[in-house]
């Protein structure tokens, strides 16, 4: 059995496993019986639960979540880094400033206005 088989019932199993550490004997017995009942309802047994402990393997769903989170964070950080580098070199997205502001920036830099290649003929 893999951890994937337990995935649909893991939210039910967690509190029951934690309750096994209770200092109340009745809670411990009730928890143990509930664990067996939940596992049986999913077509599993206590051996499936035991086999999933400490195998160090992540389920496909867990791996996908981790990959997607890392990819999204990495993509966002990379995009931000590129934008900062471009802004540092004088590049500005036209959405960042009004056209009048862009024209004023060009005038301050002494570009001399429109270059002859850009003029309408």
The CA angle 83-88-92, to the nearest 5 degrees, is: 60
The contacts of residue 94 (CB under 8 Å, 6+ apart) are 102
Predicted local confidence at residue 56, as pLDDT = 64
Mean pLDDT of 30-42: 93
Query: Taking a C-beta distance cutoff of 8 angstroms, is the pair 45, 39 a contact?
Result: yes
pLDDT at 96 over 60: no
User: Between residues 102 and 85, which one has the greater pLDDT?
Assistant: 85
């Amino acid at each position: 059995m893999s951890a994937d088989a337990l995935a649909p019932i893991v939210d039910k199993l967690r509190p029951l496993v934690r309750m096994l550490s209770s200092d109340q004997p009745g809670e411990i017995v009730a928890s143990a019986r509930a664990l067996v009942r939940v596992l049986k309802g999913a077509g599993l047994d206590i051996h499936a639960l035991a086999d999933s402990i400490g195998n160090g393997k992540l389920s496909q769903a867990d791996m996908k979540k981790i990959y997607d989170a890392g990819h999204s964070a990495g993509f966002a950080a990379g995009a931000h880094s590129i934008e900062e580098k471009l802004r540092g070199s004088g590049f500005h997205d036209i959405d960042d400033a009004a056209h009048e502001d862009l024209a004023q920036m060009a005038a301050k830099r002494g570009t001399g206005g429109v270059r002859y290649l850009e003029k309408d003929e």
